[in-house]
Amino acid sequence: MLLRLSEIIDVPGGSIPFSYEADFSDVEISFSKPFVNPVKISGKVYNSAGVLHMVAECDTIIRFECDRCTDEVERPYSITVETILVEFLENPEDIENADIVVIEDATVDTDEVVRSNIILESDMRLLCSLDCNGLCPRCGSNLNDGPCDCEPEIDPRLEKLKDLLK
């Protein structure tokens, strides 16, 4: 969504609210595209002492395959985006150290700002839970459902000690 900022760019205290839904089904995270539902985005751009700030709340339901156990998972996903909007940078290196977006023609593409924040703040691995046990490397059983029937693997260096127990 292109948001025109010309009416608040020189008006300290000015504000432009926005609320809409965006399609991010093309966003890939951890080799999957979890954004199968529209993302609800609401927020505002406001001028505080001559500096433009953008704040947005983004909510949706994501669907993905767990990277450890391969179960299909659906869960709520929320992110808060906070960034500063500038028309130009006096020192181009400044953009590397802060959440700054350079705007052109007094407009900002809120979709692009949100999209880049989603990608940057997403986990590299999508898991069904933090304590997911994954799959057994030998039989492929889901270890979240309980232990499998595989014999424990013995370190080959200790294999001879097994004979002492007989």
pLDDT digits (tens, 9 = 90+) for 30-69: 788 889 899 999 999 999 888 889 999 999 999 999 999 9
Contact 84, 101 (CB under 8 A): yes
Number of structural domains in the chain: 1
Residue 81 lies in a domain: yes
Taking alpha carbons only, the member of 121, 140, 47 closest to residue 77 is 121
Report the residue count for the chain.
Answer: 166
- In the chain, count H helices and then E strands: 2, 7
Domain-embedded: residue 163:
no
| In a domain? residue 156 | no
Q: State residue 152's pLDDT score.
A: 79
Domain-embedded: residue 40: yes
Residue 118 vs residues 24, 51, 126: alpha-carbon distances, Å: 10, 24, 13
Mean pLDDT, the chain, integer: 86
pTM value is: 0.75
- What is the extent of the structural domain holding 92? 2-132
